[in-house]
Amino acid sequence: MINFDFVSPTKIYFGKDRENEIGNIISSFGFSRVLLVYGMSSIKRSGLYQRVVDKLDKSKITHFEVSGVRANPEISLSRLGIEICRMNNIELVLAIGGGSVIDTAKSIACGVFYDGDTFDFNLHKALPTKALPVGVILTISASGSELSNSCVMMDDKTGIKQGFNHDLNKPLFAVCNPELTYSVDKYQTGCGIVDIISHSLERYFCPSNELEFADSIALAIIKDMVKVGPICINDPTNYDARAVMMLDSSYSHNGLTGLGKSFRFPIHAMEHILSAFDIKIAHGAGLSVLIPGWIKFTYKYDIDKFVRFFKEVFDINVADKEECVKIGIQSLKNFFKSIGMPITLSELNLHESDIPNLVNLMTLDGTRLIGQGTIKTLDKEEITLLLKDLL
């Protein structure tokens, strides 16, 4: 186990109707000037927006707004938000939504005290030294951004989509009411399931000793998701299933499942290229195609770890290790199919002719390797083979 610092300071207000306490929660931290960040019209249609605004008004909290955040969130909206914060002495950025909205809020919060452009953080040209606190009212379980140190944004001009990780990105609080996710449709729920699994799975498959605290927690969360995911899809108002999925989303990506391990996100790194290449591709759908492909390509470099994975997650008890992994990969594909997720590039409307472009983007024209520090580093040729196998 390697040395590490870890803190997960976010206070969670979990459960039914908790968003109705938002005024009191913000007041309890001593803030009275807030920037709301949200997406399209869904929180207005559902009535959530009006409820939140009413509570803020009741607690005499002045609020400004940035709205229209989309999937693959645009850095230009962050720039707008930063201006509003500076002009109005904003004390807290309140995200109402899921990953894209929360990441936009983080991008704004870090940019307010920075003289340069806030996308510099994503380009790893600068590190934030101070940020406004971010609060969250979570409406979809997927990204884990409500507790994570991660902020992924897209430069709408260049098409570059990139994330940066920093402790200042960890929200001050998150209001997590599973009922707010009842309206997430089957497809988006499926995408969320895959994303949550991926956050723990990619940490699990980073090299570790046989004894590793994080690996057990990662497997527990993945097993839970395999159990509750289909319930969330087929019985979307099942409170307990939505509640487990919500907590799994938070704890899959707050660092707990990777404690004491050095990790990279090779599958996420490849996927961000897919969904930037075609913004119609949902992040979870891209992951669903890539995860089994990545496993097939890498399992032989640490087969025992994959055998443990498939034994614990899918209860596969086959003595022959190769056979166990083969059955395991098929079980994983079947699981993704069962929750309505794609397992081929064709299903994402990507074709053989796209592969050279995709590989160039993934490897920065062959100058970058994927997955260094994981069980298998992938170069341009290997990624090409991996993708071709997924057509």
Least distance from a copy of itself to the Cβ atom of residue 288, Å: 23
Q: How many CB atoms lie within 10 A of CB 91?
A: 18
Candidates 55-63, 65-73, 226-234, 280-288 — which segment interacts with a copy of itself by CB under 8 A?
226-234
Least distance from a copy of itself to the Cβ atom of residue 4, Å: 5
Cα atoms in the 13 Å half-sphere on the side-chain side of 226: 20
Candidates 37-45, 93-101, 196-204, 217-225 — which segment interacts with a copy of itself by CB under 8 A?
217-225
Burial class (CB in 10 A: 0-12, 13-18, 19+), 154: buried
Q: Count residues contacting a copy of itself (CB under 8 A)? A: 44
Cross-strand pairs, 136: 95, 174
- Picking from 322, 310, 387, the residue whose alpha carbon sits closest to that of residue 348 is 387
Q: For residue 359, state whether it binds a copy of itself (rule: CB under 8 A).
A: no
Least distance from a copy of itself to the Cβ atom of residue 24, Å: 12
Identify which of residues 106 and 261 has a Cβ nearer to a copy of itself in the complex.
Answer: 261
Q: For residue 146, state whether it binds a copy of itself (rule: CB under 8 A).
A: no
Least distance from a copy of itself to the Cβ atom of residue 242, Å: 10
Binding residue for a copy of itself, selected from 217, 281, 285, 291, defined by CB under 8 A: 217
Q: How far apart are CA 9 and CA 147, in angstroms?
A: 8
Q: CA triplet 139, 140, 142: central angle to 5 degrees?
A: 150
Binding residue for a copy of itself, selected from 243, 267, 285, 383, defined by CB under 8 A: 243
The answer to whether 100 and 75 are in contact (CB under 8 A) is no
Binding residue for a copy of itself, selected from 146, 248, 271, 382, defined by CB under 8 A: 248
Least distance from a copy of itself to the Cβ atom of residue 72, Å: 29
Least distance from a copy of itself to the Cβ atom of residue 6, Å: 5
Q: How far apart are CA 21 and CA 24, in angstroms?
A: 5
Q: For residue 211, state whether it binds a copy of itself (rule: CB under 8 A).
A: yes
Cα atoms in the 13 Å half-sphere on the side-chain side of 49: 15
Q: How many CB atoms lie within 10 A of CB 5?
A: 5
Distances (CA, A) of 99 to 28, 249, 284: 25, 11, 12
Identify which of residues 68 and 236 has a Cβ nearer to a copy of itself in the complex.
Answer: 236
Q: For residue 127, state whether it binds a copy of itself (rule: CB under 8 A).
A: no
Q: For residue 234, state whether it binds a copy of itself (rule: CB under 8 A).
A: no
The answer to whether 374 and 264 are in contact (CB under 8 A) is yes
Binding residue for a copy of itself, selected from 182, 213, 297, 301, defined by CB under 8 A: 213
The answer to whether 68 and 111 are in contact (CB under 8 A) is no
Identify which of residues 6 and 389 has a Cβ nearer to a copy of itself in the complex.
Answer: 6
Binding residue for a copy of itself, selected from 126, 220, 318, 327, defined by CB under 8 A: 220
What is the length of the chain?
391
Q: For residue 29, state whether it binds a copy of itself (rule: CB under 8 A).
A: no
Pairing, β 173-176 against β 134-138: parallel
162: left (phi over 0), alpha (psi -120 to 50) or beta: beta
Least distance from a copy of itself to the Cβ atom of residue 53, Å: 23
Binding residue for a copy of itself, selected from 33, 51, 166, 223, defined by CB under 8 A: 223
Q: For residue 367, state whether it binds a copy of itself (rule: CB under 8 A).
A: no
Binding residue for a copy of itself, selected from 36, 153, 219, 313, defined by CB under 8 A: 219
Residues 169-188 interacting with a copy of itself (rule: CB under 8 A):
178
Distances (CA, A) of 90 to 61, 124, 300: 11, 26, 52
Cross-strand pairs, 37: 66, 95
Q: Which two tokens stand for residue 322?
A: 């190769």
Q: For residue 221, state whether it binds a copy of itself (rule: CB under 8 A).
A: yes
Q: For residue 16, state whether it binds a copy of itself (rule: CB under 8 A).
A: yes
Q: Which two tokens stand for residue 385?
A: 């083979």
Q: How far apart are CA 56 and CA 54, in angstroms?
A: 5
Q: Please give the residue ranges that form the binding site for a copy of itself (CB under 8 A).
A: 1-16, 18, 178, 209-213, 216-217, 219-221, 223-224, 227-228, 231, 239-241, 243-244, 247-248, 251, 256, 259-260
